[in-house]
Chain A
Amino acid sequence: MTDRARHRATAVVGLGAAIGLSAWAAATVPFTPGADTVTAIGIGLVALEVAVRWRRRVLVVGVDPDHAAPARWWPWLALAAALLALELASFFSGPRVDHPTISSLYDSATRWRAVKAAFFLGWLCLGAALVRS
């Protein structure tokens, strides 16, 4: 089996496992052993990958060929600051129905299992991307 084929097979198996875990997570309720277990499995898999890659981690921080001109990063900081400010303002205001936080928006959205499964899958994919970046 070539490296490329092995890489593709690993990606397919990983995606299948992530979809399975997401379906399981969507069926759980927070503050129950099932929710703890499925979340811990996701965290454990990423922690394992971090440990495996730790020694051979080589970071290449180069210039993006699509960005010949110096790219600005401060708009991201401004967005993050605005998000934090709105979250804090909402958190310390009430009632929650008038001032929703990210958590309460998430709770509203995940009344549907498919949405919760999509969030969980997105979280797992983000973790995998962070480890492989």
Chain B
Amino acid sequence: MSAQALSDALWGMLAAGGLAAVAVSHLAGAHLERISALVRRVEANRAAYVCVIVSWMWVGWHFFAR
């Protein structure tokens, strides 16, 4: 297996794992916390809230402007 194929497979597995986790967390009676609930808990702290917002800003600047 080439390095490129291995990298593609790993990224694909991570993406699939993320999507599966989102789907599982939305099932009734699931034991996995939803991302929205997790973000709300993190954001309960104002400093963490500012960190989340600044991270969002950095992602946008990195991908779209620079």
Contact = CB atoms under 8 A, between A and B. Distances in A.
Interface in B7-66: 7-8, 10-11, 14, 17-18, 21, 25, 28-41, 43-44, 52-53, 56-57, 59-66
Contacts of A35: 64-65
Interface residues of A, number: 50
B60 A42 contact: yes
A40 to B, nearest CB: 8
A113 interface: no
Contacts of A46: 53, 56-57
Interface residues of B, number: 40
A66 interface: yes
Interface in A50-104: 50, 59-61, 64, 66-73, 75-76, 79, 82-83, 86, 90, 93, 97-100, 103
Q: Is the interface of B mostly helix, strand, loop or mixed?
A: helix
Nearest to A119: B63
A50 B64 contact: no
Contact of B53 (A67, A69, A130): A130
Interface of A: 25, 28, 30-31, 35-36, 38-40, 42-43, 46-47, 50, 59-61, 64, 66-73, 75-76, 79, 82-83, 86, 90, 93, 97-100, 103, 105-106, 119-120, 123, 126-127, 129-131, 133
A126 B60 CA distance: 11
Contacts of A103: 62-63
B35 A99 contact: no
A43 B21 contact: no
B7 A43 contact: no
Contact of B37 (A42, A64, A100, A106): A64
Contacts of A83: 14
A69 B31 CA distance: 7
